[in-house]
């Protein structure tokens, strides 16, 4: 990985989703995409590589550790990392609104999602990450 490479991870308990999203995100330069079907493994990888992480996309419903919990733990480890919650299910609006207000979740995507929309959201969040990183370094 080069200095300007950033890690983006996709966490979803469905292998076909992680593979599809991984392939779609290959079009974005300067990122390395990791996929996980186990949220606990994703969290361990994040802990070991948090300085290189820019973005985590997580499904909402997963066994062991749901998307809310995973993204909250990740934000506690690195506040600047951008987070996107994905789900095919209805999410309790109060929790989602609270997490978005507190910036635990930076973006929300309803599944099924068009790959063009996924790429657009990822590019936007990577741009926001760079802006945040610049602001932090100026302090």
Determine, yes or no, domain membership for 69. yes
Determine, yes or no, domain membership for 102. yes
Determine, yes or no, domain membership for 1. no
Reduced 3-state DSSP string for 34-67: EEECCHHHHHHHHHHHHHHEEEEEEECCCCCCCH
Comparing CA positions, the residue from 27, 24, 35 lying closest to residue 115 is 24
Cα dihedral across residues 78, 120, 13, 10: positive or negative: negative
85 three-state secondary structure: strand
- Rounded distance, CA 136 to CA 139, Å? 6
- Rounded distance, CA 101 to CA 136, Å? 20
Q: How many domains does the chain have?
A: 1
Residues of the domain holding 107: 6-138
* CATH code, domain carrying 34: 3.40.50.2300
Cα dihedral across residues 36, 111, 7, 27: positive or negative: positive
Question: What is the chain's pLDDT, residue by residue, as a tens digit (139 residues)?
Answer: 556 789 999 999 999 999 999 999 999 999 999 999 999 999 999 999 999 999 999 999 998 899 989 999 999 999 999 999 998 877 667 877 888 999 999 999 999 999 999 999 999 999 999 999 898 888 7
Q: Is 59 left (phi over 0), alpha (psi -120 to 50) or beta?
A: beta
Q: How far apart are the first and last CA of the chain?
A: 27
Q: For the whole model, what pTM was predicted?
A: 0.94
């Amino acid at each position: 990985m080069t200095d300007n490479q950033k890690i983006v991870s996709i966490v979803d308990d469905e292998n076909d989703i992680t593979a599809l999203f991984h392939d779609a995100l290959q079009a974005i330069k300067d990122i390395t995409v990791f996929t996980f079907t186990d949220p606990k493994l994703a969290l361990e990888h994040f802990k070991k590589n948090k300085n290189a992480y820019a973005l985590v996309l997580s499904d909402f419903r997963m066994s062991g550790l749901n998307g809310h919990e995973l993204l909250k733990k990740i934000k506690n480890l690195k506040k600047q990392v951008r987070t996107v919650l994905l789900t095919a299910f209805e999410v309790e609006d109060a929790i989602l609104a609270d997490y978005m207000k507190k910036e635990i979740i930076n973006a929300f995507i309803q599944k099924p999602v068009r790959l063009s929309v996924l790429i657009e959201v990822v590019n936007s969040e990577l741009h926001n990450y760079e802006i945040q990183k610049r602001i932090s370094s100026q302090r």
